[in-house]
């Protein structure tokens, strides 16, 4: 029997993700949105691409949460997008009500699903989804570090003229200005980047990674990134539905790991059929721990603002 995936929000991130999932051809996909007829139209268009691209995925657009029932994975992308000059932190109150309502419906119709949160500010919204759903921590995961690490790897590959496949890196912490790219542990084909790139240039790349989303928002003028975010969610779903046990940086609920309790923070995590299967603890330097703690404090402030 084919798996069932629901994507809540048929905007740029949501609809691009649905297209990518359909082309994977391992699951049927439901695309929900509050806008009448819009998800239905996009779904029909994608469905008609199946004969050309060779996939048999059933794609359903809907305005009714009942159509999402018994999903294996539900991705939350709905919410207000970030606008030029707006930080992720500015979004918290705007998106809190939306994500809470969405999560209530998800828990009602798919009580055994795994939730992947994409809506910003991502760490806070994942904390909210866990709180509202009442799910165990293994079944609520935020997409953050996969995207941030992809940006970091892209900039490093461009700098040294190597394939992105040869670049290994991790970005920890919150999905925002306080994220912690671990340049010390970054390698290109096993060679530490400190041997390939000057310290000054590495710091510039680290800062560009932190500003990665804002850079795209500024260039677009309206809207925000969606190609790389949707690809990042796809990798997470691949690992979950295909039980690949991949280790990737995700926002997960920590229970003592990295000295953090009861808070969603981006760390390396192993994803499989059960959702979060293991948190991987990396030995951090004193400076890296201090930066991670700064990021943790920023996330905690947002959670406090939400009052949960």
Give the closest residue to 84 by CA, choosing from 182, 211, 272, 238. Answer: 211
- Please tell me the distance from the alpha carbon of residue 286 to that of residue 304, in angstroms, as a whole number: 27
Residues 212 and 104 in one domain: no
Confidence (pLDDT) at 144: 86
> What does the angle CA 175 – CA 181 – CA 187 come to, to the nearest 5 degrees?
140
Residues 100 and 72 in one domain: yes
- 134 sits in the region (left: phi over 0; alpha: psi -120 to 50; else beta) called left
* Helical (H) or strand (E) element with 226: none
Residues 250 and 290 in one domain: yes
What are the residue numbers of the active site?
175
Average pLDDT of 60-69?
Answer: 98
Residues 150 and 288 in one domain: yes
Confidence (pLDDT) at 177: 86
Confidence (pLDDT) at 82: 66
% of the chain at pLDDT higher than 70: 98
Residues 165 and 77 in one domain: no
Give the pTM.
Answer: 0.96
Cis amide prior to 121 (ω within 30 degrees): yes
**67 pLDDT more than 80:** yes
Confidence (pLDDT) at 88: 60
- Please tell me the distance from the alpha carbon of residue 73 to that of residue 28, in angstroms, as a whole number: 11
- Are the C-beta atoms of 32 and 73 separated by less than 8 Å? no
Number of domains within the chain: 2
Confidence (pLDDT) at 84: 67
Of the residues 123, 142, 161, the one at which a domain ends: 142
Class of residue 211 by CB neighbours under 10 A (exposed 0-12, middle 13-18, buried 19+): middle
Residues 19 and 165 in one domain: no
Q: Which of 25-29, 46-50, 91-95, 141-145 has the lowest mean pLDDT?
A: 91-95
Residues 244 and 119 in one domain: no
DSSP structure class, residue 173: B
Average pLDDT of 252-266?
Answer: 98
- Are the C-beta atoms of 187 and 156 separated by less than 8 Å? no
Average pLDDT of 116-120?
Answer: 95
**174 pLDDT more than 70:** yes
Q: What is the number of alpha carbons within 13 Å of residue 194 lying toward its C-beta?
A: 4
CATH number, domain with residue 13? 3.40.50.720
- Are the C-beta atoms of 194 and 202 separated by less than 8 Å? yes
Cα 184 to Cα 19, 140, 158, 198, 211: the distances in Å are 36, 30, 18, 12, 19
Residues 227 and 194 in one domain: yes
Class of residue 286 by CB neighbours under 10 A (exposed 0-12, middle 13-18, buried 19+): exposed
Average pLDDT of 25-34?
Answer: 98
- Please tell me the distance from the alpha carbon of residue 285 to that of residue 283, in angstroms, as a whole number: 7
Confidence (pLDDT) at 81: 72
Give the chain's mean pLDDT: 95
- Are the C-beta atoms of 270 and 247 separated by less than 8 Å? yes
Confidence (pLDDT) at 222: 84
Sheet strands (E) in the chain: 3-8, 27-32, 59-62, 73-76, 114-117, 140-142, 167-168, 171-172, 180-181, 187-188, 191-192, 246-255, 261-272, 275-279
**173 pLDDT more than 80:** yes
Of the residues 92, 107, 142, the one at which a domain ends: 142
**269 pLDDT more than 90:** yes
Residues 41 and 55 in one domain: yes
Residues 34 and 153 in one domain: no
Provide the pLDDT confidence category of residue 85 given band limits of 50, 70 and 90.
Answer: confident
CATH number, domain with residue 293? 3.90.110.10
Tell me the backbone φ, ψ of residue 107, rounded to 5 degrees.
-65, -30
Confidence (pLDDT) at 89: 65
- Please tell me the distance from the alpha carbon of residue 39 to that of residue 15, in angstroms, as a whole number: 8
DSSP structure class, residue 71: -
Residues 150 and 121 in one domain: no
Of the residues 142, 164, 187, the one at which a domain ends: 142
Residues 175 and 122 in one domain: no
Give the closest residue to 148 by CA, choosing from 167, 172, 165. Answer: 172
Q: What is the pLDDT of residues 281-306, one digit of tens each?
A: 999 999 999 999 999 999 999 999 89
% of the chain at pLDDT higher than 90: 90
* Domain residue limits at 288: 145-306
Tokens read off for 224: 């925000």
* Helical (H) or strand (E) element with 95: helix 92-109
Provide the pLDDT confidence category of residue 176 given band limits of 50, 70 and 90.
Answer: confident
Average pLDDT of 212-231?
Answer: 93
Provide the pLDDT confidence category of residue 105 given band limits of 50, 70 and 90.
Answer: very high
């Amino acid at each position: 029997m084919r798996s069932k995936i629901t994507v809540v929000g048929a905007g740029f991130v949501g609809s691009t993700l649905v297209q990518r999932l359909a082309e994977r051809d391992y699951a049927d996909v439901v695309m929900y949105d509050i806008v009448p007829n819009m998800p239905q139209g996009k779904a029909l268009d994608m469905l008609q691409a199946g004969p050309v691209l060779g996939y048999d995925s059933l794609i359903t657009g809907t305005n009714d949460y009942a159509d999402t029932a018994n999903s294996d994975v539900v991705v939350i992308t709905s919410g207000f997008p970030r606008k030029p000059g707006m930080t992720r932190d500015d979004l918290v109150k705007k998106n809190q009500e939306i994500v809470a309502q969405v999560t209530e419906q998800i828990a009602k119709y798919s009580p055994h699903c795994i939730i992947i949160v994409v809506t910003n500010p991502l760490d806070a919204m994942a904390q909210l989804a866990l709180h509202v759903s009442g799910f165990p921590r293994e079944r609520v995961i935020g997409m953050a570090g996969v995207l941030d690490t992809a940006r970091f790897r892209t900039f490093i590959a461009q700098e040294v003229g190597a394939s992105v496949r040869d670049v290994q890196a991790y970005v920890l912490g919150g999905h925002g200005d306080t994220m912690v790219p671990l340049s010390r542990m970054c390698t290109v084909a096993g060679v530490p980047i400190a041997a390939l790139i000057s310290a000054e240039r590495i710091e510039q790349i680290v800062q560009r990674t932190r500003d990665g989303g804002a850079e795209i928002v500024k260039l677009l003028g309206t809207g925000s990134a969606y190609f790389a975010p949707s690809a990042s969610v796809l990798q997470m779903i691949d690992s979950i539905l295909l039980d690949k046990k991949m280790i990737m940086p995700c926002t997960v609920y920590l229970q003592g790991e990295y000295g953090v309790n009861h808070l969603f923070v981006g760390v390396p995590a192993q994803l499989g059929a059960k959702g979060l299967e293991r948190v991987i603890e990396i030995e951090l330097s004193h400076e890296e721990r201090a930066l991670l703690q700064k990021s943790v404090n920023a996330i905690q402030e947002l959670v406090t603002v939400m009052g949960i």
